[in-house]
Amino acid sequence: MLALDQLLDHIKLWSTEFLIVIIKVLVVFVVGLVGTMLMVWFERKVISYMQNRIGPDKAGPKGLLQTLADGIKLFFKEDLIPDRSDRFVFILAPYLAFVPAFLVWSVIPLGGDFSNGKDGTVMILGHATKLQLADPPIGVLLLLALSSIAIYGIMLAGWSSGSKYPLLGSVRASAQMVSYEAALGLALATVILVAGTLSTNGIVVAQSSLSRWHVVATGVVPFVIFLIAATAELNRPPFDLVEAEQELVGGFNTEYSSIRFALFYLAEFMNTITMSGVIVTLFFGGPQPIRFSGVNITLGFLGPFAGTVLFLLKVLVFLYMYVWFRATLPRLRYDQLMNLGWKLMIPLALGWFMLLAAFRVGQDNNWNRALVGVICLVVLGAAAWLLSYATKVSARNRDREGAMF
């Protein structure tokens, strides 16, 4: 009915197919939670080494169980609901932040057999299935939809607290997320243009060798834009104005305590993992083996788990990168953030998308490639000049008339 999985086409209650689907759901859920726990530990440990400290090392081997200990502590804290808060929304908001973070996992291909151009279908107990919870035809649009739903959690959390600082923090956060969503979507559009499909599985299948990985095939720029916009969407450093402690006490979650605070915390780290997974899926071939000019790294000795291991290794690179960002880059000022988003990222993403589209049309109609390139460059140059001129004029007017707000 929903074309989510070929297993679901003619499904009966309690048949083998049914059990496989249930097991897939459980595995994704448990792996998501455990992965988040490990991510918190990983971030604290790596950052402490970068800052020449030891970091958590008391609970469990190498401090591995520190997150568990923190979680238990949070559970047993008093659950405060401020008097001036809007009770219903206050209780609802953490779930609105948490659930979308989880749902993104459902469309990411977590493994499978992609060697030699296969489409990742594996056999489990005699049934063909993909190692991903759902493969809807609108796959990547679901990512955009969920990332726009996640805004509600933060926005309503700040508002319902009934206090000024959380409100300011949440307005900042949602303004930032709404602004960067446009750049995110445009970078995503270039991937869709090259892959020719919206299904996440189809996008992975299209990246069958290193030169076809979308980071190469779309010409790196969309990847950089996506990475920056994704960091801003995640509210992670250097875009963590949401919790600028010096200005806002603690941001949108100031009034939250106990398990509700833990949910926000969990959602934040889970979003980091899912976003890394999304980047790997869109630009680095997901579970595809690494294949270029004769070299073929398939990790074949791992058998059916090769795809999953490759996927996890690629995700780990990005997780490390996010931690690295946090340890290295200072926080942006709010106006710098908005300037970067609106005046640089969105025009650049739009221009690059038009460039790729023009080349695509030229290819279909057998136009001269060089001519198409030159014309595109001239048009883009003119557009860039116009934009910078407009910015200059508006800055001058602003100086003369004084700031509007």
Interface with other proteins (CB under 8 A): 1-3, 86, 88-89, 136-138, 141-142, 144-145, 148-149, 151-152, 155-156, 159, 167, 171, 174-175, 178, 181, 197-199, 202, 401-402, 404
φ/ψ of 297, rounded to 5, equals -95, 95
List residues bridging with 123 in a β-sheet: 128
Cβ of residue 179: shortest distance to other proteins, in angstroms? 12
47 versus 193: smaller Cβ distance to other proteins: 193
Least separation, in Å, of the C-beta of 141 and other proteins? Answer: 4
Helix (H) or strand (E) holding 34: helix 16-50
To other proteins, the closest distance from the beta carbon of 48 in angstroms equals 37
Q: Tell which residue, 349, 340, 353, 351, has the closest CA to residue 380.
A: 351
Pick between residue 112 and residue 136 the one whose CB is nearest to other proteins.
Answer: 136
Nearer to other proteins, 41 or 180 (CB): 180
Nearer to other proteins, 28 or 151 (CB): 151
CA 171, CA 165: separation in Å to the nearest integer? 10
Residue of 27, 385, 345, 72 whose CA lies nearest to 186 = 345
Under DSSP, the state recorded for 12 is -
Residue whose CB is less far from other proteins, 32 or 202: 202
| Residue 176 amino acid letter | Q
In the complex, what is the shortest distance from the CB of residue 319 to other proteins, in angstroms, rounded to a whole number?
Answer: 26
Instruction: Identify whether the C-beta of residue 346 lies closer than 8 Å to the C-beta of residue 182.
Output: yes
Q: Between 48 and 148, whose beta carbon lies closer to other proteins?
A: 148
Q: Smallest distance, Å, CB 90 to other proteins?
A: 12
Contact criterion met (CB below 8 Å) for 204 and 288: yes
Q: How far is the CB of 273 from other proteins (least distance, A)?
A: 22
Distance CA 269, CA 326 (A): 13
